[in-house]
A = this chain, B = another copy of it.
Amino acid sequence: MTDVYDNEVFFAEYSAMDRSMKGLDGAPEWPQYQALLPELHGLNVLDLGCGMGWFSRWAIDQGAKSSRGLDNSHNMLVRAKEMTNHEDISYEHVNLDQVSFGGDMKNKYDLVHSSLVLHYLVNLDDLVKQVHNVLVPGGTFSFCIEHPIFTSTYHQDCIVDDKSGNTYWSLSYYPNEGTRKIHWLNSDVEKQHRTVTTYMNVLLTNGFEVTGFDEWFGSREMLASFGKYGVRESPMFLLMSAVKK
């Protein structure tokens, strides 16, 4: 299946978002996420779903030794090579749902990072096993995903209680893991809903110690600007970090 980021309608809209135009500073969860990261100086970084490469480039600018950015979208990789390239970064086309890191990658990376990508993948357990393999002992795996409370619903919208007039995030089907088909940026997008338990256990059962956990809510003002996603104080992103034991 073509990556949704290679759908031209979707990509045009995505490219106009703050997180595309302004990079990390345009991502509202960035300050909280940054607090989960280790000191970057001298690290070899693997960026799973690197998009336009904002994180890979930031890592190099922080003193990381190298960064390898992988993405399934040709559009994204073209943009990365235009906007964030550096001699210590390599950008490669990889489908993370089918990736098989070779033996030469064992114990090679100090930090594996992934921003808003894992909730698109079907084979998460397999990928986490591979992340464990490519990390050095004590290395960090950090990621940000859409929060399971956010991905749980099938329609991804608020409802208004006619009795009180209040707007609520209509939580439903939280335990029903699997595909959610939503309409976002004028396109049909498929994502994978998993519970918080599943994200915790895919780490705990694959040799990681969970070291960081945070949820991003946004201010009322910011949420209001999100239109229908401006959920009433409901968490939108889940941020985690873990260390290879």
Contacts and interface: CB of A to CB of B under 8 A. Distances in A.
The 3 closest A-B CB pairs, nearest first, are A168-B170, A200-B213, A169-B171
Interface of A: 149, 159, 161-163, 166, 168-176, 195-197, 200-201, 204, 209-215, 217, 232-235
Q: Which of A159, A171, A235 has the most CB of B within 10 A?
A: A171
Contacts of A162: 162
A204 B200 CA distance: 14
Contacts of A213: 196-197, 200-201, 204
Given A159-B161, A162-B162, A209-B209, A174 B204 contact: no
A217 B174 contact: yes
Nearest to A239: B197
A197 B214 contact: yes
28 contacts: A149-B171, A159-B163, A159-B170, A161-B170, A166-B170, A168-B172, A169-B170, A170-B170, A171-B234, A172-B232, A172-B233, A173-B232, A173-B233, A174-B217, A174-B233, A174-B234, A174-B235, A175-B217, A175-B233, A195-B215, A196-B213, A196-B215, A197-B213, A197-B214, A197-B215, A200-B213, A204-B210, A204-B213
Of A149, A163, A170, A212, most buried by chain B (CB within 10 Å of CB) is: A170
A231 to B, nearest CB: 8
**Which of A169, A195, A197, A212 neighbours the largest number of chain B CB atoms within 10 Å of its CB?**
A197
